[in-house]
């Protein structure tokens, strides 16, 4: 089963994918997390991606497509995709890769949120470098300040969460990624729109309600 979660930076994709993955026993595949892991490990891909990520631009399609095709294969097609596809080219390549394996996208969720809410979410975000769990200094605090609840590791702030980079990421989203929703709508997919401006728990509840109603997820 493949679920695609769309939405702008800071909409809550990572937060919600973690919950959806647990609920439906899927592998959470975040293209951003995988790229950050490459950077931390100093791989060639990580080195190539760094300058794009730090300036809020998209990493070139050909680098991402190969990376994500491998990740989906390792997950045996049982995954929730977070941050991929991010361009129409990536969406088309994903279709080709899934077709080749006789798989399909089972559900597409779009987290809808106003740009004005996003900056506060991003600047207050703290993440666990070990397990990727995402917190917020005001709305989603860890039990012990600055420490991951699950791993006990010190939380970090992402280098691309500076206000000027956040603004560039939003612009990139509107220019290149918003069109992905139109691509899927044109192909006849049902897109589950979710109001991502609500609390974390309300967003999760609404997503699960809509996914269950689609009666694709067991």
User: What stretches of the chain adopt beta strand conformation (E)?
Assistant: 2-6, 27-30, 79-82, 107-112, 125-127, 134-136, 191-195
Q: Which of 12, 55, 7 lies closest to 203 in space, CA to CA? A: 12
Active site residue 36: no
Q: Which does 206 bind (CB under 5 to 8 A by kind): Mg ion, ligand AP5, none?
A: none
Residues 6+ apart with CB under 8 A from 64: 31, 58, 84, 86, 90
Does residue 14 belong to the site contacting Mg ion (CB under 5 A)?
yes
CA distance 150 to 152: 6
Please tell me the distance from the alpha carbon of residue 107 to that of residue 216, in angstroms, as a whole number: 8
Q: Residue 60 carries which DSSP code? A: P
Task: Among 6, 29, 45, 53, indicate the residue that binds ligand AP5 (CB under 6 A).
Answer: 53
Identify the active-site residue in 13, 18, 19, 121: 13
d(C-alpha 59, C-alpha 83), whole Å:
12
Among the listed residues 18, 86, 126, 206, the single catalytic one is 86
- Is 134 one of the binding residues for ligand AP5 (CB under 6 A)? yes
Between residues 138 and 215, which has the closer beta carbon with respect to ligand AP5?
138
| 15 lines the binding site for ligand AP5 (CB under 6 A) | yes
6 binds, among ligand AP5, Mg ion, none (CB under 5 to 8 A by kind): none
Token reading at 191: 């897109």
- Give the separation between CA 148 and CA 129, rounded to whole angstroms: 9
Residue 13 annotated among the catalytic residues of the structure: yes
Q: Choose the catalytic residue: 18, 19, 36, 158.
A: 158
Smallest gap from residue 11 Cβ to Mg ion (A): 9
| Nearest CB to Mg ion, comparing residues 36 and 206 | 36
Catalytic residues: 13, 86, 125, 158, 169
Contacting residues toward ligand AP5, per CB under 6 A? 7, 9-15, 30-32, 35, 52-53, 56-59, 64, 83-84, 86, 90, 121, 124-125, 134-136, 139-140, 160, 169, 198-200, 203
């Amino acid at each position: 089963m493949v679920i695609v979660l769309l939405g702008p930076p800071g909409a809550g994709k990572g937060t919600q994918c973690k919950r959806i993955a647990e609920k439906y026993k899927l592998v959470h595949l975040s293209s951003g997390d995988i790229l950050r892991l490459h950077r931390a490990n100093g791989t060639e891909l990580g080195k190539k991606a760094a300058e794009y990520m730090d300036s809020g631009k998209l990493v070139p399609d050909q680098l991402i497509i190969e990376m994500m095709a491998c990740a989906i294969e390792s997950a045996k097609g049982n995954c929730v995709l977070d941050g991929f596809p991010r361009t129409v080219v990536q969406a088309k390549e994903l279709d080709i890769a899934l077709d080749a394996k006789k798989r399909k996208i089972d559900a597409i969720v779009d987290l809808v949120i106003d740009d004005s809410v996003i900056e506060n979410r991003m600047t207050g975000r703290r993440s666990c470098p070990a397990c990727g769990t995402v917190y917020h200094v005001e709305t989603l605090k860890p039990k012990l300040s600055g420490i991951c609840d699950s791993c006990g590791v010190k939380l970090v702030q992402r280098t691309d969460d500076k206000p000027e980079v956040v603004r560039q990421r939003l612009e990139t989203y509107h220019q290149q990624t918003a069109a992905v929703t139109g691509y899927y709508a044109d192909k006849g997919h049902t897109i589950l729109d979710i109001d991502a401006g609500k609390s974390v728990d309300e967003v999760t509840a609404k997503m699960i309600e809509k996914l269950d109603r689609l009666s694709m997820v067991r």
